[in-house]
Every structure is written in structure tokens, then in C-alpha cells.
Amino acid sequence: MIEIRHKNTGEVLLEVDSDTLRYADLRGADLNWVDLWWVDFRNADLRYADLRDACLRHADLRYANLQDADLRDADLRYANLQDADLRYADLRYANLQDADLRYADLRDADLSGANLRRANLWRADLRSANFWGANLEGAIGINLDTSTTKGEAR
């Protein structure tokens, strides 16, 4: 049994009857303000999950489905998001510094104000993603085509 707790109050927000979160079905889960450093979410279904202000630093989210997830202000530093589905995800002001987003699907995602310093975006699908005010300093593999992205990158 895994208990996911609020990072400030310690309140149990969710109990998962498993010894791992790999392949977990967490669709629509309320996980805002959770502290999940180094957690293995590979292949997890997190569609429509509320992960606002969550600490997912160093989390393994390879192949995770985060479509339409709310990740505003989430800490995803050093997270592995290779091949993750982030279509329509809300990543406004998220910290993705040094995150691995190779082959991630970020179509129509909102990354406005996000910190993507030194993030690896090689072969990520960025069509119609919003990078307005995002920090892309030192990002790897990014080639913003203004005909397919909204806003400006800095």
C-alpha cells in the first residue's frame, strides 16, 4: 500500500493498493502539493490529474500519460519525461530545469513562464505549444518555429 501525502500537512491524499506507481491509474487524482521525489511513474495514467505545486523532482515519468494534467508551478527539475504524453497539459510556471523531455508530446501544452533551462527537448513534439515568457536558456534540441508555436521563448 502506497500513501501519497500532502507535502505540508502530511494529510493522506490518496492510497494506492500496490507497491509501485508504475502503470498506476491515477486519472483525475487530486495530487496538488504532494512530495514525490524520485518516484517511479513509468507508464502511469495521470490524465486530468491535479499536480499543481507538486514536487516531482527526479521523478521517472517515462511513457506516462499526463494529457490535460494540471502541473502549474510543479517542480519537475531533473525529471525524466521521455516519451511522455503532455498534450494540452498546463505547465505554466513549472520548473523543468534539467528535465529530460526527449520524444515527449507537448502539442498544445501551455509552458508560459516555465523554466526550461538546460532541458533536453530533442525530438519533442512542440506543435502549437505556448512558450510565452518561458526560459529556454541552454535548452537542448529546441528549434522553435514561430509558425507552429505561440508566444516567444527567451
Residue with cell 499526463: 66
Q: Give the Cα separation of 69 and 27 in Å (integer).
A: 9
**Nearest CA among 1, 74, 85, 72 for reference residue 34:** 74
Please report, for the chain, the start and end positions of each structural domain, with discontinuous segments joined by +.
1-154
Cα gap 58→39, rounded to integer Å: 8
Structure confidence by residue, pLDDT tens digits, 112-139: 999 999 999 999 999 999 999 999 999 9
pTM to 2 decimal places: 0.90
What ranges make up the beta strands (E) of the chain?
Answer: 2-5, 12-16
Q: Which grid cell sits at 58?
A: 527526479
What confidence score (pLDDT) does residue 153 get? 42
Cell of 3: 500513501
CATH architecture of the domain formed by 1-154: 3 Solenoid (2.160)
Q: What are the pLDDT digits (tens) for 26-52?
A: 999 999 999 998 999 999 999 999 999
